[in-house]
Amino acid sequence: MVFYFTGTGNSLYIAKQLESNPLSIPQVIHQSELEFSADKIGVVAPIYGHEVPNMVKDFLKRTSFHTDYFYIILTYGNRHGGAAELTKQLCDECGITVSYINVVLLVDNWLPSFDMEEQQKIDKNVDGQMSVILHDLNARKKMISEVTETDRAAHRQFLQFTSQAPADSWQHLIQITDRCIGCGLCEKVCPSASIHIENGKAVHIPGNCQTCLACAHVCPQKAITTSIPEKNPNARYRNRNISLNELIMANEQRGN
């Protein structure tokens, strides 16, 4: 049993290598009962600011997992900032006994800092990384990925930077321009129902935005951008192994 959260397909791609039909956290979290039993249970999620998305935190806090082997795979694109250690602390707070946490380096989809065209040219040896992880999981290895003082310093630096901004600043990151044609793709791939089409145009509703940037990356008109200048406003990203329909199936919140 594998649960995942994805914005542009990276974590879904990893989850599908662990199990053929992984379960989407944005869909599962609406169930009235969050209690699961299996021989082995895993969670795959990206890290934003070196931590899992708020929705994943909420899922871990609210869910009861009954298993002898619980593991977490974290995807990141530049530096993980000690994400494994931070996630272990979260699991401890949630009363979850976690056997294994590891990280996977993939394309970084953070538009303010990275050029998507350049990122996709870099060979990050994903297959090699996954070969090690799959071997570990099959052997039920117990391990938390190594965290260095440099990693911890990177997270402290990030926290210091964000502390200088308003508490809800990330909720206002998404900007929708007049290039919007109201196609609705952004609404379909948003995992938190933070975008709606009103009067033929997309409207972003702050409050529960996960800052996954799925909406910005999927927009065919590049009408959705960020309040922070982008590295390359003409480049967007979706994991080449994941279809648009898979992203929609994972994240669409219509009816929830």
Identify which has the larger pLDDT, 164 or 173. Answer: 173
Which H or E run includes 90? helix 83-94
From the centroid of its chain, how far is CA 165? 22
pTM above 0.75, yes or no: yes
The pLDDT of residue 167 is 84
What domains are defined for the chain? 2-160 (3.40.50.360), 169-251 (3.30.70.20)
Contacts for 3 with CB less than 8 Å, ≥ 6 apart: 15, 22, 23, 24, 25, 28, 41, 42, 43, 44, 59
Which whole number is the average pLDDT over 172-187? 96
Summarize pLDDT for 61-72 with one digit per residue, the tens: 999 999 999 999
| Half-sphere CA count of 236, side-chain side, radius 13 A | 18
From the centroid of its chain, how far is CA 200? 28
Instruction: In whole angstroms, give the CA distance from residue 157 to residue 208.
Output: 25
Instruction: In whole angstroms, give the CA distance from residue 9 to residue 1.
Output: 19
